[in-house]
Structure 1
Amino acid sequence: MNDMLVRLVSLPDITNTEKVLKEKEQVIFRRPIAPEKSIVTQWVCKYFSSNWADEVDVAFSRIPISCFIAQRGQEIIGFSCYECTAKNFFGPTGIIEKERGKSIGKVLLIKALLALKELGYGYAIIGGVGPVEYYQKTVNAIVIDGSQVSVYQHMLKNNS
């Protein structure tokens, strides 16, 4: 998998999308707070992977917490993180399957990228990308040549 580069000064405006999701889908977007750490990390482990849960755990060690969640009522339906594995890296991110295709992921992505912009970065890296076309279309990300070998190259695999 390749890494991608995103220009942070030209991100799409998500104000209206977020408003529509709140009104029509009752979805709110926010940073979780410290007492929610185990709830969020366990949810990520259940729906995605223990590796991603480990990265979320790191997000909770930051102030402000470097994670956003999408929730409907008391249910988490998606998350996005930044600066968990490496500085200036976006990810991991995930939306539960039944909620995909509603722009929830787009809002979570851009909220995290805006947080990186607020840290002073002009560009951000999306690490180990699966859906290249999605990031190209959503934030004009470009594949970084030669990035198949990245910060994840020596990562241990969980064989259980």
Structure 2
Amino acid sequence: MRGIREAVAADAAALGEVAAAALVLDAAEAPRLVAGLSDPPAGRRWTALVTGDLDAVVFASMSAREASAGHIDLLAVHPSAQGGGRGRALVAVAEEWLRAEGAAEARFAGNPPCYAWPGIDVRYTPAACLAERLGYERYDVAWNMTADLSAEADLSTEADLVRLADRGVTVRAAGPGDRAAVLDFVREHWNDNWVWEAERATGCHYASRDGEILGFAAWGARAAWFGPMGTAPAARGLGVGRVLLRRCLAEQRDAGQTSAQIGWVGPLGFYSRAVGARAERVFWLYRRDLR
């Protein structure tokens, strides 16, 4: 193994190829994951480290919310180079970088809003085994849900829109002139992570009443994914979320998608009832003390 160094812009294509070869469950999306992690929100402290032969890469970053938390965002070793200790060596150098940045803890866990996955997909068993051999402990579990976008999937909203209109609520797509107001709403009720995602989203819909925004939903901040979505307390119980969700998914279907990922899901029951989404990807979150 040749020496580990920081990646440079000229490495991007090669690293996308390494990720596509190594991440067999995400081969089609892997180059986009590498590109996305290389273009994080302004102010994020991050690094990408590669082996000299460009056959392995690790991305690491510092949390913006917890000053002492660092993240191992993505680790990929080309199949032809696996078994030679590259993954272990890259994680060790990434941990040293995190310590130098002030991290007291390292996590194999997503660093919102720009992350590959919530944690380690349980089907990437070698990655989970590596984390445990390196002394990381499993501390949480997360999951993604999959929504069917086939022609048979019921994404209708007509009846709900009539019902909401009777209560003074309108739902519309957020055009260029509306997006700023939606972002202000997201910032007021949630956080800058969601603002970053909503701003980058391909599509966005919102509900309002008497000029007051009650809820929003977005899709496409990450290819093929739905979210984020939220409703204000004043909208709870109106059924706004179901309409916003279905309108976004319908747009994704019109864009040619046959399914959509709902990432890092909280309300499992809501998505199951609203669109028949199913829990499909399960992730283990790991952490280790660096002190």
TM-score (norm 1): 0.83
Give % identity.
Answer: 27
Residue in structure 1 matched with residue 208 of structure 2 by the alignment: 71
Structure 1 gap ranges (5+) = 154-160
Equivalent residues, number: 143
How far apart, CA to CA, are the structure 2 residues paired with 1:30 and 1:36?
10
Give yes or no for the alignment of 1:109 onto 2:220: no
Moved more, 117-126 or 136-145: 136-145
Match of residue 236 from structure 2: 100
**Residues 218 and 227 of structure 2 are in contact (CA less than 8 Å); yes or no, is this contact kept in structure 1?**
yes
After superposition, give the CA deviation of every residue in 1:35-57 in whole Å (9 maximum; x if it has no partner).
33322211101111111111111
Aligned to 1:142: 278
Structure 2 length normalisation: TM-score? 0.47
Shift of 1:11: 2.3
2:227 to 82, 91, 112: 91
Give the Cα–Cα distance (whole angstroms) in 2 for the partners of residues 14 and 37 of structure 1: 22
Bigger shift: 140-149 or 43-52? 140-149
Deviation at 1:12, TM superposition (A): 4.0
* Residue aligning to 1:120: 256
2-side partners of 1:41 and 1:123: how far apart? Answer: 26
Q: Structure 2, unaligned stretches of length 5 or more?
A: 1-141, 287-291
Match of 1:27 among 169, 177, 181: 169
Matched with 1:37 is: 179
The 2-side partners of 1:56 and 1:37 are apart by 9
- CA gap 1:22/1:4 in 2 versus in 1, 3 angstroms: same
How far apart, in 1, do the equivalents of 2:265 and 2:171 lie?
23
Contact between 1:3 and 1:148, CA under 8 Å: does it hold in 2? no
**RCO higher in structure (CA 8 A, sep ≥6):** 1
More strand, by proportion: 2
